């Protein structure tokens, strides 16, 4: 009787160990899949068509002469921006790149909350896309104080930081030596979330004019 009992106990122990190892394997697998993103992009970017990024379900959606199906720094940047599912907070000095504007408009059309802080003077220059964003119903605030708004960063879904030297212009993307850092490290993302909130409140035009 004691031998049979011992066999049962050993069997149950082995089964429990197997189950535990399986659960641990699944847990580590999920943790590996959720690895924190850290990526660096350098510009100028190679020239390539990005239409497939905007219309991924449509085959042969573009017949332009640019290379197709090529992954570049710019295409990577677009993909990260378009990964937003709930919010995009953008703080940008100069914004004239039409593909980046298209990405922001697409997010807005999908119900993503988009907020933009930009430089007052540069938002008024020829080619600026700030007016296009405003016409689409996106809330844009420009600096109402004397300090120049020279930031270039975006926060996607309060989890992904996109920052660096890159202005969102065609020249910066195609002609300048620029860098972009993308990270999901909370210790880096959180200060930028706070900075955006500070600038958003600081440049609230209703508060500014009420104090005049």
Determine how many CB atoms are found less than 10 A away from the CB of residue 11: 10
Q: How far apart are CA 29 and CA 113, in angstroms?
A: 32
Does 152 participate in catalysis according to the annotation?
yes
Query: What is the torsional sign of CA 160, 166, 171, 173?
Result: negative
Angstrom distance (rounded) from CA 97 to CA 115 = 17
Which one of 8, 110, 150, 194 is the catalytic residue? 150
Cβ atoms within 10 Å of 92's Cβ, excluding its own: 25
Is 99 an active-site residue? no
Find, among 92, 103, 75, 98, the residue nearest to 166 by Cα: 92
Let me know if 120 is a catalytic residue: no
Report the alpha-carbon distance of residue 16 to residue 146 in Å, rounded.
Answer: 67
Residues identified as active-site:
150, 152, 157
């Amino acid at each position: 009787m004691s031998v049979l009992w011992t066999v049962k106990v050993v069997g149950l122990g082995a089964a429990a160990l197997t189950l535990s190892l399986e659960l641990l394997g699944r847990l580590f697998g999920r943790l590996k899949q959720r690895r924190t993103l850290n990526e660096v992009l350098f510009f100028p970017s190679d020239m390539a068509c990005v239409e497939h990024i905007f219309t991924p379900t449509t085959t042969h959606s573009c017949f332009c002469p640019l290379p197709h199906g090529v992954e570049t720094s710019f295409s990577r940047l677009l993909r990260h921006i378009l990964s937003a599912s709930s919010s995009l907070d953008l703080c940008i000095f100069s914004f004239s790149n039409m593909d980046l504007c298209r990405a922001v408009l697409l997010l807005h059309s999908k119900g993503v909350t988009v907020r933009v802080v930009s430089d007052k003077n540069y938002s008024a220059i020829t080619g600026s896309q700030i007016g296009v964003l405003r016409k689409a119903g996106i809330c844009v605030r420009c600096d109402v104080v004397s300090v120049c708004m020279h930031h270039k960063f975006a926060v996607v879904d309060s989890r992904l930081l996109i920052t660096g030297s890159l202005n969102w212009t065609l020249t910066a993307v195609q002609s300048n030596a620029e860098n972009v850092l993308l990270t999901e490290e909370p210790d880096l993302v959180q200060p930028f979330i706070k900075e955006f909130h500070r600038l958003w409140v600081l440049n609230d035009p209703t508060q500014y004019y009420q104090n005049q």
